[in-house]
Amino acid sequence: MADVTLLSGELKLAGRLDARFFALLEAIGGTGSINRAARAAGYSYKGAWLLIDTATNLAREPLMESAAGGRGGGGSRLTPAAHELLAAWRRLQSRHGEFLRAQEDWLNQQPALAGLLRRIAMKTTARNQFAGTIAGVESGPVTTQVTIAVAGGQEIVATMTTAAATRLKAEPGKEAIALIKSSAIVLVTDFAGYALSARNQFAGTISRVEKGAVSSLVGLTVPGGTTLTASVTNDAVDALGLAVGQPATAVFKAYSVMVAVTRMT
């Protein structure tokens, strides 16, 4: 099974009593002090009191008892109603966890769906992420070239150290994701008779231009429907006259492509 959680869910009672609220109750029970409990659960002192008061009003019976200072000192303690509520929460948490695990087991038995969810689950700042299959691996003593076939019949070539390719167990037929930062992509509107050394060159049509304060995100859609996004300075957008519908070519070096493969356990 891949080392990733495909399913998660937040448990709430009555739509508002969540894990943080019950952490506050547990902290009150453990410390005997709402002040210390509030800090432990991440509430302000006032916020903790407000939450306890609201829950008490809804429960129609006290959830906490406070004792004034004296020889034994003051403090706060949970009432039997609060202990009962806390015990119910723990039981429900356990059952909720069992339910999620059972559903995740089912998801893992659906290869296509599980694969889609694993790809979506990966969190990265790389703007361009393309799922595909390793179509070829050319290993050398120092570097290895990995070709990934993606949707639309396109192929993206990545160059990495041979040690990295070995660690990834890169081999033809294995699912992989190609990641390219938008800043690594250069848009060319006119080669003027020159040829570029960059291994990856995709001709297409500009499909969007999103201008920001300093730079713009320019989307280039290539045959097959794949869209590459490049980060371009506003000055360059203006100088090249980049606009939707204009033909252009996205160019990026093989060294700029990172490759991710599923980690099996």
For the domain spanning 122-177+256-260, the CATH number is: 2.40.50.100
- The CATH number for 182-252, chosen from 1.20.58.340, 2.40.50.100, 3.40.50.720, 3.40.50.1950, is 2.40.50.100
Asked which of 52-56, 130-134, 226-230, 236-240 is least confident by mean pLDDT, the reply is 52-56
Q: Which pLDDT band, with edges at 50, 70 and 90, does 124 fall under? A: low
pTM: 0.59
At CA 111, angle to CA 106 and CA 113, rounded to 5?
A: 75
Q: Is the pLDDT of residue 251 over 80?
A: yes
Cβ atoms 127, 229 nearer than 8 A: yes
Between the two ends of the chain, the Cα-to-Cα distance in Å is 6
Give the closest residue to 181 by CA, choosing from 123, 126, 124, 229: 126
pLDDT at 2: 44
Asked which of 71-75, 103-107, 228-232, 256-260 is least confident by mean pLDDT, the reply is 71-75
Question: What are the tens digits of pLDDT across the range 138-175?
Answer: 999 999 999 999 988 899 999 999 999 999 999 999 98
pLDDT at 1: 37
Q: Of all helices (H) and strands (E), which one includes residue 11? A: none
**Across 33-127, where does the E strand assignment appear?**
64-67, 75-78
pLDDT at 104: 79
Task: Assess if CATH 1.10.10.10 describes domain 19-107.
Answer: yes
Give the closest residue to 149 by CA, choosing from 135, 168, 138, 160: 135
Cβ atoms 264, 4 nearer than 8 A: no
**CATH topology of 122-177+256-260 equal to that of 182-252?**
yes
Question: What are the tens digits of pLDDT across the range 62-88?
Answer: 888 876 554 444 578 888 988 998 999
Q: Which residues are paired to 76 by β-bridges?
A: 66
Average predicted confidence (pLDDT) for the chain = 86
Ordered by start, the domain boundaries in the chain are: 19-107, 122-177+256-260, 182-252
Give the pLDDT mean for 103-107: 79
* 116 or 141, which is more confident: 141
Q: Of all helices (H) and strands (E), which one includes residue 221? A: strand 215-221
